[in-house]
Amino acid sequence: MAAQSCGSTGLAVQVLGSGGPESQDKRASTSYLVWQNGNARVVLDAGGGSALRFGESGAQMSQVDVFLFSHFHVDHSSDFPALIFSSWFEDRNRPLPIYGPEGNEFMPSTTEFVHDLFSDPHGAWRYLSELVEPSTASGGYTLQPHDVAAGSTPVLVFRNGDMALYAVKVIHGAFPALAWLVEIGGKRVVFSGDTNGDGDGLTQLAMNADLFVAHNAVPEGAGGVERRLHMPPSVIGTIAANAHVKQLVLSHRMLRTLGKETETQAEIRRRYSGPIAFANDLDCFPVK
């Protein structure tokens, strides 16, 4: 793929990782890149394999304005240190804001996560501690993690020029999790992250979205733990319809949903009549 062929003009979402936690799906785990006019502006999540896909996309970490996390399961976060270390070799000379959920007994908060990786004296990669200790920062490149105290209605988290970011708390079992709205130049892109779809916060966030990226991690009829963590196609279709989204992209595809695209689409179609696409790694979706 040619460098910056996605989003060279206008706004686009590139799927860096379209899979879940399984290696056998032969996909990178969850990660997305929002392009605007050839610049990579937002990265959301960084699951295993996504650092390689980021390089293949032609993006530069020096361009990225902000890094977002939906939650800190391994398949959404394990390539973060690889991306950050890669960016060490670029000419980034400004801080990188990082936004993600608060913590609980099962998960670190966003600030904890970043410091557990890089802080001295206990960080896993504390040899990079100057990334989180401004007093020793070289060239002004530091990581600036923030915990987002989101509730059941969308909240404005970040604004930078023509870009605004909103988050809402979503239900993903007992794990703190966020869905995100990236608004750039009047266009609205929403990422569900992992959620079982309970409550109407995600519908509010996705209202009139130009592009809605939803996670197709379980088939229709799933029960038990799977269903407590993820929304089935019928729920995806209901949210997409109620929010009047203009385009639906299904990602976080897993072995239990791969091969069931016909059934999944039929279930969604019963509720939502707009365009539906199934994501693969490096797919580019222009925001019309």
Give the integer Cα–Cα distance in Å for 264 and 43: 27
The confidence score (pLDDT) of residue 123 equals 97
The model carries a pTM of: 0.96
Summary mean pLDDT of the chain:
95
Please give the C-alpha separations between residue 76 and each of 94, 100, 162, 247, in angstroms, as whole numbers.
25, 12, 27, 23
| pLDDT, mean of residues 36-65 | 97
Q: Any idea what the Cα angle at residue 13 is, between residues 33 and 89, rounded to 5°?
A: 25
256 and 219 Cβ atoms separated by less than 8 Å: yes
Q: Which amino acid is at 161?
A: G
pLDDT surpasses 80 at 222: yes
Question: pLDDT at residue 2 above 80?
Answer: no
Q: Is the pLDDT confidence value at 1 over 70?
A: no
Higher pLDDT, 130 or 248: 248
